[in-house]
Amino acid sequence: MKKSINTFLKHPTKDNINRSANPPVARASTILFQTMQEMHKHEAKIKQHKKISYYNYGRYGSTTTIELENILKELEKAYHVFLTGTGFGGIALALMSLCRPGDEILVSDNVYGPTKEISEKLLKEFNINAKFYDPNSLDDLKRKVTKKTKMILVENPGSNTFEFQDLSKIVSLAKNNKILTLLDNTWGTPLYLKPLELGFDMSFSSATKYFSGHSDAMGGSLAVNKKVFNKIMFFYKLSGYRMSADEAYLIIRGLRTLDTRLKQHYQNTKIVINFLKKQKKILEILYPHEPGSKNYKLWKKYYTGATGLFSVVIKSKKKSSVVKFVNSLELFGIGYSWGGFESLAILQELKASKDEYSQGRRFFKYGKNEHIVRLHIGLEDPNDLINDLNKSLRYIK
Same domain, 242 and 267: no
Could you tell me which residues come within 8 angstroms of residue 171 by beta carbon, excluding any fewer than 6 positions away? 181, 198, 199, 200
Do residue 262 and residue 224 come from a single domain?
A: no
Q: Are residues 311 and 227 in the same domain?
A: no
> Is omega for the bond preceding 157 within 30 degrees of 0, making it cis?
yes
pLDDT of residue 357: 42
β-strand partners of 176:
none
Of 255, 280, 315, the domain-final residue: 255
Residues whose CB is less than 8 angstroms from the CB of residue 330 and which lie 6 or more positions away in sequence, other chains included = 388, 391
Output the pTM of the full model: 0.92
DSSP letter at 59 equals G
Classify residue 356 by burial, with Cβ atoms within 10 Å: 0-12, 13-18, 19+. Answer: exposed
CB atoms under 10 Å from CB of 299, counted, come to 22
SS3 73: helix
CATH of the domain at 90: 3.40.640.10
Nearest in space to 159 (alpha carbons), one of 14, 360, 341: 360
Helix ranges (H only) for 240-335 are 245-255, 258-276, 294-302, 319-328
Of the candidates 289, 281, 295, which has an alpha carbon nearest to the alpha carbon of residue 371?
A: 281
d(CA 125, CA 95): 13
pLDDT of 356 reads 44
Is the same domain home to 212 and 298? no
- Torsion on CA atoms 127, 60, 255, 271, rounded to nearest 10: -20
Same domain, 207 and 281: no
If asked whether residues 243 and 272 sit together in one domain, one would say no
What is the C-alpha to C-alpha distance for residues 97 and 320, in angstroms, rounded to an integer?
44
Tell me which of 238, 255, 272 is where a domain ends: 255
Per-residue pLDDT of the chain (397 residues; tens, 9 = 90+): 677 888 888 877 766 666 777 788 889 889 899 999 999 999 999 888 888 888 888 888 889 999 999 999 999 999 999 999 999 999 999 999 999 999 999 999 999 888 989 998 999 999 999 999 999 999 999 999 999 999 999 999 998 999 999 999 999 999 999 999 999 999 999 999 999 999 999 999 999 999 999 999 999 999 999 999 999 999 999 998 999 999 999 999 999 999 999 999 999 999 999 999 999 999 999 999 889 888 999 999 999 999 999 999 999 999 999 999 999 999 999 998 899 999 999 999 876 554 444 456 777 777 889 999 999 999 999 999 999 999 999 999 9
Whole-angstrom distance, CA of residue 180 vs CA of residue 107: 12
The verdict on 139 and 27 lying in the same domain is yes
Q: Are residues 221 and 287 in the same domain?
A: no
* CB distance 66 to 81 below 8 Å: no
What is the per-residue pLDDT for 2? 74
346: domain range?
A: 258-393
Residue 198 and residue 81 in one domain: yes
Q: What are phi and psi of 289, to 5 degrees?
A: -105, -10
**Domain containing residue 373: CATH number:** 3.90.1150.10
Q: Residue 308: what residue type? A: G
- Cα–Cα distance list, 242 to 52, 89, 93, 204 (Å): 17, 9, 10, 15
Phi, psi (deg, nearest 5) at residue 370 = -105, 145
Q: What is the layout of strands, in order, in the sheet containing 282-286?
A: 282-286, 309-315, 370-376, 343-348, 332-333
- Span between the terminal Cα atoms of the chain, in Å: 60
CA atoms lying within 13 Å on the CB side of residue 216: 9
Decide which of 215, 234, 255 is a domain's last residue.
Answer: 255
Residues 177 and 204 in one domain: yes
Helix, coil or strand: residue 369: coil
Asked if 198 and 275 sit in the same domain, the reply is: no
